Amino acid sequence: TQLLEQSPQFLSIQEGENLTVYCNSSSVFSSLQWYRQEPGEGPVLLVTVVTGGEVKKLKRLTFQFGDARKDSSLHITAAQPGDTGLYLCAGNAGNNRKLIWGLGTSLAVNP
């Protein structure tokens, strides 16, 4: 069974701090995606990474795909209260319509 493990499960920080959350697996993925979900809403796609070692930036968010395509990280610089939410990673293991989902990291950024 392919699994994606996300850590930490919960994170509470002050505005302005930096943070990194992780998405790890023992399996290789052809692509990995990150989503953010706000309470009571559906997840929203942030980014997809497809090449080992790839780094993508979205304003203050930096996403990295591991060289072996088994893991990914999300780094947020100078977190703001608007970054609060559940961050989910999801991977595609091949030519498959379904995604494998992590359980998420719940982030709270306090003003």
CB 29 within 8 A of CB 69: yes
89-108 positions binding another protein, by CB under 8 A:
90, 92, 96-99, 101-104
In the complex, what is the shortest distance from the CB of residue 61 to another protein, in angstroms, rounded to a whole number? 17
- The sign of the torsion formed by the CA atoms of 109, 56, 58, 25 equals negative
- Distance (Å, rounded) from C-alpha 36 to C-alpha 105? 10
In the complex, what is the shortest distance from the CB of residue 70 to another protein, in angstroms, rounded to a whole number? 17
49-68 positions binding another protein, by CB under 8 A:
none
DSSP class of residue 59 equals: T
Residues that bind another protein (CB under 8 A): 31, 33, 35, 40-45, 48, 88, 90, 92, 96-99, 101-104
